[in-house]
Amino acid sequence: MSDVIIQASNLSRRFGNFVAVDNITFEVRSGEIFGFLGANGAGKTTAMRILCGLLAPSSGSATVCGYDVATQSEQVKLNIGYMSQRFSLFDDLSVWDNISFYAGIYKMSRAQIKDAGNTMLDKLELSKYKNRLVGSLPLGWKQKLAFAIAIIHKPQLVFLDEPTGGVDPITRRAFWDMLYAAASEGITIFVTTHYLDEAEYCDRISIMVNGKIGALGTPLELKEQFKVLSIYDVILALARGEEA
Amino acid sequence: MQAFISAQGLVKHYGSTLALDNVSFEVYQNEILGFIGPDGAGKSTLFEILTTLLIPDAGEASINGMDIHKDYGKIRASIGFMPGKFSLYQDLTVQENLSFFANIFGSSIEENYHLIKGIYELLKPFANRKAGALSGGMKQKLALCCALIHKPLALFLDEPTTGVDAVSRTEFWDNLMQIRDSGIPIVVSTPYMDEATRCDRVAMIHNGRIMKLDTPDNIIKGYDGKLLSITCKDRQKPKALLQNEAAINSLYSFGDALHISLNNTDASTLKLISSKLEQGMDSPYQIKEVLPTFEDCFLQLMGQMKK
Amino acid sequence: MKNLSIFVRKEFLHIVRDPKSLMIMVLLPLVEIMLIGFVLRFEIASTNLAVVDMAKQQQSTKLIHRLEGGDRFKVRLTQSMPEAEELLTEGKVKAILYISEDFDRKAVENSESSLQLLLDATDPNIATTIEAYVKATLADFWVDSIGGSPVPMLITEQMFYYNPLLKSVYATVPGLISVVLMLICALMTSISLTREKESGTLKVLLISPLKPLQIIIGKLAPYLLVSLLITGIILALSFGVFGVPMAGSLIMLIMVSFVYCLCALALGFLISTKAKTQQVAMMMSLAGLMLPTTLLSGMIYPIKNMPLWLQGITYIMPARWFVSILKHIMLKASPFSAYAGELAVLLLMTGIFTLLSLKNFTTRFR
């Protein structure tokens, strides 16, 4: 039985009268690629922010990498990686500046940064662009770089918030190859996406509907559960309020 | 049949980047023409040229006989445009946005309500809510209504489904088909390959060039070669096993499967592949021939473009 | 602690890479310091002083020479009081010294003097400073030329014109109106227009049958109305609460304010055609309009005392002309001829800014 790296129990979050996250319980196992789906406004983003230690829950609890998100949020942040939509790199800083900044924040020493940074650049074939401003790089490269930087400090778990928005199909696949490589090295991947075919790339997925978890399981399990052929149809079924 | 919208040889540079590279196409009344391609393909630039907001470096285009260079005033008064990000007034209500856009076109909500009725039904409960407080799917519907309310001759929709949830996207395309049926041609762009099926004709665009323009069926039929799909637990395994086979043109992951593109699927090739898999795979797998999806076609065209 | 230094280093990199923030953070303060330290002064030099010499004798002539020597005054000899008063009204002189016919006789024989001093007190601080300078120079003259101690009271009649109680609010209200109107008409409109650009709704507006001119007027008209309303409120308060007089024509005042508003609107519009985002528009308005208006319109620092090159710059500030015209109308009841020239300049500026912004408002981009 692999370790549980994220454990959410009866997690809720309210904003005034509005219940954004409604009593959700689920777990993510170490080394898996976990897809977190749901429409905008379904509570996805709020739930993710709680798990990243950025937002306190209103009730219930969650532990990430063994740390409680409410009381030990600083440790949570140190042990995870994060890559957001539109890649969270500084366009007006160079590639190396971005690397040393983020690696430094995660408490890597100068020597470690030098070593890991150069290795990373070699692997991505971006060594020539070490001092180039990130803003001048094509979208696909920025995306690769952003992910590599997100895991440079070798976290156990990395959160990816819609990381493949807008790029062409080849670049998207190349990105998922990177994700697979990271997963095979033991990093747990927690990813949200609107591309439903990407849901199929995940080991297990959950679909949030109106603050609750509407479906949870492997893509295959869900398709069997709802007796449909694609994840898209699962979402349609959930939207129509059908039960499994 | 006379083309309603036509473009010839449109070229546009941004500094040293070539955003549009000699783009030509035609749109007929009663059709939805979809431009499918990723960010940076040139879609927005094209839309801004067609709606006369941007002057091309070279090339011509006309809408219902009106030329984009000479008749831009007339064109502007008669088309509907939905630029990206929905372009609504966030601090005005649904009702206020709609009447504003109707009025500046010299029309009124009552006059053309029948055009938007189907779409607006879902918005009605929110008539007094500020546009900024609507969900993505609702904003999309409102923006569409605002573009339609003055009974345009043609509709130009630039990425109207980006970032919107799957269910709203489907409803949106249902609405588009109704609009088309009422006689308004639609030019729409999207980064989502699966939406190509909902268009009458599709233009696959990448790096400023139209790689292919045809009906969805013809594009699928025009796929060069055959496609095999392998479903198994660990997709990396077959990839590693078959990567270097000469008979294989390309290998791409597709959801829960691996798509393998071949020149042909005659017995010898299939035998080769199955034996390779037999030897190397240690978990159950399924292999079958499938019809290509649009994304398969796009990937193939991209590959051809590179050469 | 290490995290902090990493973060600080990154922020420095951002600042260095962004020329705009460098300019605002480094250049602007330097310019301000230079201006305030070297250039904008409260001391007054070369005051235009009209002297009516009814005596035209030895002592009076000596007195005039004394006034002319040094750099405190620029003396204009006038033949009569009415002539001098006209100069005062037109703003060509800031003070009048009236030397009566019997000046020499009284001075030499009785050691007495009956000089009259009239001061333009629209800027009370300036008026009291000039008063002090004149009295000091007169005292020096008396000690050197007439002799005898103690020095008698030299000015027996003194009047502060236009603002007899030396209320500072008289001077500040015109300046305040000019700043407020610039704020509403220029700053707010520049932001509103760029907001339309930023949200993408401008594209849709351009695509509509609305003519560009209609869009522009539609955007600007509400601000014009609001600013006229605010002006009315400020004026009402100044009359009602502070007792600022309305010596001249209210209608003229409204018309001139209207012209100034149009000028500011044109400026706001011009900025919006250049700015890509609301933030940039706001920066440009604040740094390029509000700040210079406050410092260089003559509201706080007298323009006359600025070095010539800076005075030249004030010529292109609409506020400078507006404040001057307001003072004429509100405090001096000057005839139209006194400020007609300044009004013409304001109109010209409005025309130029309007043309420039229309030219820059592209509805089709290259």
Q: What is the pLDDT of residues A135-163, one digit of tens each?
A: 888 878 888 899 999 999 999 999 998 88
Q: What is the mean pLDDT of residues C162-185?
A: 82
Under the banding of pLDDT at 50, 70 and 90, the label for residue A2 is low
Residues 6 or more apart in contact with residue B63 via CB below 8 angstroms: B4, B5, B50, B75, B78, B79, B153, B154
* pLDDT over 90, % of chain C: 11
Q: Is the pLDDT of residue C106 over 90?
A: no
Q: Is the pLDDT of residue C148 over 80?
A: no
Q: How far does the CA of residue A88 sit from the closest CA of chain C (Å)?
A: 14
Q: What is the pLDDT of residues B66-103, one digit of tens each?
A: 999 999 889 988 999 988 777 888 888 999 999 888 88
Nearest chain C residue (CA) to A109: C2
Q: Do C209 and B104 touch (CB under 8 A)?
A: yes
Q: Which of A134, A137, A138, A150 is nearest to A91 (CA)?
A: A134
Q: What is the mean pLDDT of residues A38-58?
A: 86
Q: What is the mean pLDDT of residues C3-24?
A: 79
* Run of H or E including B302: helix B294-306
Q: How far does the CA of residue A201 sit from the closest CA of chain B (Å)?
A: 5
Q: How far are the Cα atoms of A140, A156, A191, B101, C210 from residue A148, in angstroms, in the given order? A: 13, 14, 15, 46, 50
Average pLDDT, chain A: 88
Q: Is the pLDDT of residue B167 over 90?
A: no
Q: Specify the higher pLDDT residue, C176 or C45.
A: C176
Q: Is the CB of residue A83 less than 8 Å from the CB of residue A142? A: no
E strands along chain B, which residues?
5-14, 17-27, 32-36, 58-63, 66-67, 79-82, 154-158, 186-190, 201-206, 209-214, 226-232, 248-254, 257-262, 285-290
Overall residue count recorded for chain B in this entry: 307
Q: What is the mean pLDDT of residues B231-241?
A: 79
* Run of H or E including B95: helix B94-104
Q: Is the CB of residue B199 less than 8 Å from the CB of residue B188? A: yes
Residues in chain C within 8 Å Cβ distance of A100: 6
Q: Is the pLDDT of residue B199 over 60?
A: yes
Q: Specify the higher pLDDT residue, C358 or A86.
A: C358
**What 3-state class would DSSP assign to C297?**
coil
Q: What is the mean pLDDT of residues B148-175?
A: 87
Helix A95-105 with C2-17: angle, nearest 10 deg: 160
Instruction: Of A184-198, B238-252, C299-313, give the range with the top mean pLDDT.
Output: A184-198
Q: Is the CB of residue B219 less than 8 Å from the CB of residue B204? A: yes
Min mean pLDDT across A112-121, A190-199, C299-308 is at C299-308
Nearest chain B residue (CA) to C211: B73
Under the banding of pLDDT at 50, 70 and 90, the label for residue B194 is confident
Residue C29: per-residue pLDDT: 82
Token duo for residue C340: 């007609």
Q: Give the other-Cβ count within 10 Å of C76's Cβ.
A: 16
Q: Is the CB of residue B86 less than 8 Å from the CB of residue B145? A: no
Q: Is the pLDDT of residue C365 over 70?
A: no
Residues in chain B within 8 Å Cβ distance of C199: 85, 87, 89-90
Q: Give the other-Cβ count within 10 Å of C147's Cβ.
A: 9
Average pLDDT, chain B: 88
Q: Is the CB of residue A103 less than 8 Å from the CB of residue A116? A: yes
A95 half-sphere exposure, CB direction, 13 A CA radius: 25
Token duo for residue C266: 């044109």
What is the ipTM metric for this complex?
Answer: 0.74
Strand bridging mode A33-38 / A188-192? parallel
Under the banding of pLDDT at 50, 70 and 90, the label for residue C171 is confident
Q: How far does the CA of residue B61 sit from the closest CA of chain A (Å)?
A: 27
Q: What is the pLDDT of residues C203-253, one digit of tens each?
A: 888 888 888 788 888 888 888 888 888 888 888 888 888 788 787 888 888
φ/ψ of B65, rounded to 5, equals 85, -10
Residue C150: cis peptide before it, omega within 30 degrees of 0: yes
Tokens 């034996």 appear where? B275
| DSSP per-residue codes, B43-89 | HHHHHHHHTTSB--SEEEEEETTEETTT-HHHHHHHEEEE-TT----
Q: Is the pLDDT of residue C39 over 70?
A: no
Instruction: Of B103-107, B289-293, C149-153, give the range with the top mean pLDDT.
Output: B289-293
Q: Which of C231, C266, C227, C260 is nearest to C342 (CA)?
A: C260
Maximum Cα–Cα distance across chain A: 56
Token duo for residue A175: 């990105």
* pLDDT over 90, % of chain A: 39
**What 3-state class would DSSP assign to A152?**
coil
Q: What is the mean pLDDT of residues B113-128?
A: 86
Residue C240: per-residue pLDDT: 86
Considering only the beta carbons, identify the residue of B53, B88, B106 that sits closest to C364: B53
Chain A neighbours (≥3 Cβ pairs under 8 A) are B, C
Residue A205: per-residue pLDDT: 94
Q: Is the pLDDT of residue A9 over 50?
A: yes
* Run of H or E including A190: strand A188-192
Helix C250-274 with C168-182: angle, nearest 10 deg: 40
Q: Do A107 and C2 touch (CB under 8 A)?
A: yes
Residue A242: per-residue pLDDT: 59
Q: Is A60 exposed, middle or buried (0-12, 13-18, 19+ CB in 10 A)?
A: middle
Q: Is the CB of residue C301 less than 8 Å from the CB of residue C43? A: no
What distance in Å separates the CA atoms of residue A75 and residue A68, rounded to the nearest whole number? 9
Maximum Cα–Cα distance across chain C: 89
Q: Do C18 and A101 touch (CB under 8 A)?
A: no
Residues in chain A within 8 Å Cβ distance of B193: 169
Q: Give the other-Cβ count within 10 Å of C91's Cβ.
A: 18
Q: What is the mean pLDDT of residues C176-191?
A: 86
Q: Is the pLDDT of residue C281 over 70?
A: yes
Q: Is the pLDDT of residue A244 over 50?
A: no
Q: Do C206 and B101 touch (CB under 8 A)?
A: no
Q: Which of A19, C90, A105, B236 is nearest to A97 (CA)?
A: A105
Under the banding of pLDDT at 50, 70 and 90, the label for residue A1 is very low
Residues 6 or more apart in contact with residue C23 via CB below 8 angstroms: none
Under the banding of pLDDT at 50, 70 and 90, the label for residue A164 is confident
Residue C254: per-residue pLDDT: 87
Token duo for residue C289: 């309009």
Q: What is the mean pLDDT of residues C6-10?
A: 82
Q: How far are the Cα atoms of A229, B235, C22, C139 from residue B290, in angstroms, in the given order? A: 15, 17, 60, 111
Q: What is the mean pLDDT of residues A185-209?
A: 89
Q: What is the mean pLDDT of residues C156-162?
A: 85
Average pLDDT, chain C: 84
Q: Is the CB of residue A164 less than 8 Å from the CB of residue A172? A: yes
